[in-house]
Copies of this chain bind each other. A is one copy, B any other.
Amino acid sequence: MSDIARAIAAYVSSRRPEEFAPAVRHETARALINFFACAIGASRHATVDAALAAVQPFAGPPQAPVFGRRERLDALNAALVNGTSSHVFDFDDTLLSCAVHPTGPVVAAQLALLGQRPQSGADFMLAFVLGVEVEAGIAEAIHAPHYAAGWHITGTVGVLGAAAACGRMLGLGPEKLAHALGIAATQARGLRAAFGSMCKPFHVGHAAQGGLLAALLAERGFTAGAEMLEGRRGFAEILGCGASLAEVPERLGQPFALLRNSYKPYACGVVLHPVIDGCLVLRESRISDPSQIARIALEVHPLVLELTGRKVPQTGLEAKFSVYHAAAVAFVRGAGNEEEFSDAAARDQATLALRARVSPEAVASLGKDEACVRVTVQDGSTSEHHVAHASGSIANPMSDAALVRKLGRLAAPALSSAAIDRLVALCRTLETVPAAAALNDAAAAAA
């Protein structure tokens, strides 16, 4: 094994729960609440229905729930389906440093494994923090050339984070854990051409499943090559476009990536959030009738047009990648929830009409969480609003209460309010929960 794979594995296999500051534990609770909001919220989406229908005839013992539903699957298939559902709405958490959605691939794998490998809330949390740390550390080392080359980074590094977390749960020593990272590295895949299709969330589920499989294989003595993470023809050389992982080991936990995690108030790409903020403010304060709008001029960070430049989205998934849709639907419906990025919303006539009047302009001096919205109505008068830091950004984070409301709103169709309260309480007190599997019980629909 390479020195870097060994160093990462040694770190992951030797940390102890008491090393984490309260802030890390607090952010873990927030990440889990947000994860369950997304996964349960999307549990009846066509993407999840299709994935579940495809794997059910082949599934093993009912070891883990499909969150928000009554079906149970074996752990490998549960990781696939729950990881997928966590990303369907594009509503999951984001590390702005590297565009990774960190929690989904890691915790979907971990939760699936709990039936076979029960453990305390504290140990579960430890493995989660470490899984995210490996995932984020590698992502931050490679993200710029990697993402530009066309890789969906949550898929490609997610499998490494899931392998680290599951390897820790399985109690692998550093040698086997290093092999697990190598087995995960050679499963890294996911094309950005998938954006706007069901394959985007599939990448997250596949990463969760692949990371779990990597850890299970390593546990049984399966071997990886010594240079698979970095080294000749390895992950960093090929998918990381030659970026170095040399500094990853020393940066682990310095500080923990979860402390720079962010959560989305709107169900679309995070780059669209300042636009939606600005549109909602103007709608509330100035624009009582959106049909009167003649033009919506946006000044945005250049990434907005690169990532979300789709002018005529046909489906809800495509609408999440359309700044035109995001601005228009915010004015028409006064919100940016999943309903605003549904197939029906993408076809809504009032939104379609307004989309054609949206004119975004890339301004290189703007921050990624910054935007300016200028609306001209038919009488020629204009209103303008500048958003310095979008809701959900590091500078303007979602509050704990807002995250709990997000879970409540998204999970309400699937779970009773008592179950949702129980799930929130478990997430918030996880370090003292005797059996982490209580999370699975709370997040499944009543039989």
Contacts and interface: CB of A to CB of B under 8 A. Distances in A.
A78 to B, nearest CB: 9
Interface in A44-89: 46-47, 49-51, 53-55, 57-61, 63, 74-77
A16 to B, nearest CB: 27
Given A60-B60, A189-B189, A238-B191, A198 B223 contact: yes
Nearest to A80: B213
A440 interface: no
B238 A224 contact: no
Contacts of A187: 189, 206
Interface string A205-236: 01000000100110111111101100111110
Copies in the complex: 2
A11 interface: no
Contacts of A189: 186-189
A112 B247 CA distance: 44
A366 interface: no
Nearest to A237: B150
B206 A225 contact: no
Contacts of A51: 217, 220, 222
Nearest to A227: B193
Contact of A58 (B47, B76, B197): B76
B202 A222 contact: yes
A199 interface: yes
Contacts of A97: none
A23 interface: no
A139 interface: no
A313 interface: no
Nearest to A185: B191
A222 to B, nearest CB: 4
A217 B195 CA distance: 17
Contacts of A225: 191, 193-197, 199
Given A58-B74, A76-B58, A186-B202, A53 B220 contact: yes
19 contacts: A54-B216, A54-B220, A55-B213, A57-B61, A57-B116, A58-B61, A59-B74, A60-B60, A150-B234, A182-B199, A183-B199, A186-B203, A188-B189, A191-B228, A192-B233, A193-B235, A193-B237, A196-B225, A198-B223
Interface of A: 46-47, 49-51, 53-55, 57-61, 63, 74-77, 116, 149-151, 182-183, 185-199, 202-203, 206, 213, 216-217, 219-225, 227-228, 231-235, 237-238
- The 4 A-B residue pairs with the shortest CB-CB distance, nearest first, are A150-B233, A189-B189, A192-B233, A193-B234
Given A182-B199, A193-B233, 10 more contacts: A46-B221, A54-B217, A57-B116, A58-B75, A186-B190, A186-B191, A186-B199, A193-B227, A193-B235, A199-B222
